Copies of this chain bind each other. A is one copy, B any other.
Amino acid sequence: MGMKAEVKVQAQATGAAVPGSQAERFLAIRRMTRSLAAPLSSEDCAIQSMPDASPVKWHLAHTTWFFETFVLAAHLPGYQAFDPSFRVLFNSYYHSVGERHPRLERGMLTRPDLAQVLAYRAQVEQAMLDLLGGAPSSPLPPELAAIVELGLHHEQQHQELILTDVKHLLSRNPLKPAYQDKWPLTPIHASARRWLGFAEGLHQIGHAGRDFCFDNETPRHRVWLDAFELASHPVTHGDFIEFIEDGGYRRPELWLSAGWDAVAARGWQAPLYWTQQDGRWMVFTLHGEVPVDPHTPICHVSFYEAEAFARWAGARLPTEAEWEVAVQLNANPAADLTSQSTTQATTIRGNFLESGALHPLALREAPADGMLAQAFGDVWEWTRSDYSPYPGFRCAPGAVGEYNGKFMSGQYVLRGGSCATPASHIRASYRNFFPADARWQFSGLRLARDAG
């Protein structure tokens, strides 16, 4: 089974360490996006399978719109828009930019067709390269470089959404078509889990240093933490089967009230994409429908399910501060987290998009004594923290200020990236966020508890 070699965990990168000039990185990221759509027909790219998801074609166009609107139109003299109507058609949610095609109508757009959207991408890419590569000796003005950088990270976010959204779409088809077929993935003997302890103290979290980050990761700030413990590994599919078999979805005392309402209203009996066939749990993946592998991190659970599982297990979810503090120690065990000058981890390893697995891989040995295993990649980890502004947070000025801040209510923070996240996109301070009932992301959990 020669393909297994491709699937092995090989991603190893950091945002800072992405090699090459901004122009080179621009090209590499754009090509990655394009390659994600390669296995899909124009029909696969056109349809919106639920309000939360968008058509792949829309992702392809919207990420291009970002560069055209915020970079080319603003900074490239004489640039002619590919099609003026796209300014409205592919605006996601920027009120400052003007009208937007309604989110729920994204799946109605058969025109422009996929070929036109790819042509749109090509024109914008050429213009961007003209802009970025025109004078290699003269660096871009900082403001321009910053918005280009934001566009690149923005595009990486949509790479993950392309995969989660097309997975949802394909799952709605009773034929259960596969996005790719690399199944089975490399079998790995699962490692045992254990509790890791962290002492109380006044720590710092939030982005440090000069590398790119989103505004919501700032400012770096002090936070007091009581002593706590985290599990060395994420919760697995096998753990979740135990929860189900113990009546997890039928016992209201395990659930938050709103979670129990969701269970009742939607008839949840298992994580998203699970079905039971002849007493055996199957799960729809980007490789089609396969048997549940008990040794892999659980994913496609909502915050509510993660929270109920933790209660059932006699534990709790970590706060985002606990998670980030632990991960910083992970990267640098000797770090003094009480100091403002501490920089972030420099090496992030994990099962990311680039591994090609597109599914969480089995528990692997912890990297070193006392360090978290699989904190990055595999699955996003729900935290108990609602998505809210850090002390001293300021939205970025202008339209890009709409990027993050306005979503800071009614959502919970997830950390660490997943098997669909580009390796160079994630950071210890990265804050992902989704509503408590969202299940279509690669979202799982790691247990926490108060120290002794």
Name A's B-contacting residues (CB within 8 A). Answer: 41-47, 49, 57, 85, 88-89, 93, 95-96, 101, 105, 107-114, 169-170, 172-175, 177, 202, 221-226, 252-253, 255-260, 303-304, 307, 316, 384-386, 388-389, 391-392, 402, 406-410, 436, 450
Contact = CB atoms under 8 A, between A and B. Distances in A.
A173 B111 contact: yes
6 contacts: A43-B111, A110-B170, A111-B175, A112-B175, A258-B409, A384-B388
A105 to B, nearest CB: 6
Given A47-B107, A222-B224, 8 more contacts: A43-B113, A46-B110, A88-B174, A256-B409, A257-B406, A259-B409, A303-B409, A386-B386
Given A46-B47, A96-B253, A110-B43, A391 B226 contact: yes
Contacts of A43: 42-43, 45-46, 57, 110-111, 113-114
A184 to B, nearest CB: 23
- Find the residue from A89, A108, A385, A407 having the highest chain B CB count within 10 A: A108
Given A42-B41, A202-B224, A392-B450, A252 B95 contact: yes
A293 to B, nearest CB: 25
Contacts of A450: 391-392
- Find the residue from A224, A260, A385 having the highest chain B CB count within 10 A: A224
Contacts of A41: 42, 110-111, 113
Given A47-B110, A256-B407, A85 B174 contact: yes
A113 B385 CA distance: 43
Copies in the complex: 4
A89 B258 contact: no
A10 B49 CA distance: 43
A269 to B, nearest CB: 18
Closest 7 CB pairs of A and B: A386-B386, A108-B172, A43-B110, A43-B46, A95-B252, A224-B224, A257-B406
Contacts of A44: 110-111
Contact of A255 (B252, B389, B406): B406
B307 A172 contact: no
A256 B45 CA distance: 31
A216 B112 CA distance: 43
B173 A108 contact: yes
- Find the residue from A49, A110, A304, A408 having the highest chain B CB count within 10 A: A110
A253 B95 contact: yes
A112 to B, nearest CB: 8
Contact of A406 (B174, B226, B256): B256
Contacts of A221: 226
Contacts of A256: 406-409
Contacts of A47: 46-47, 107-108, 110
A112 B173 CA distance: 10
A177 B116 CA distance: 14
A412 to B, nearest CB: 8
Contacts of A304: 409
A93 B257 contact: yes
Nearest to A41: B113
Contacts of A222: 224, 226
Contacts of A389: 316, 384
A63 to B, nearest CB: 19
Given A107-B47, A450-B391, A89 B257 contact: no
Contacts of A108: 47, 49, 169, 172-173
A71 B252 CA distance: 24
A391 B93 CA distance: 36
Contact of A111 (B177, B225, B391): B177
- Find the residue from A172, A174, A255 having the highest chain B CB count within 10 A: A174
A221 to B, nearest CB: 7
A381 B300 CA distance: 37
A316 to B, nearest CB: 8
Contacts of A172: 105, 108
A339 to B, nearest CB: 15
A188 to B, nearest CB: 32
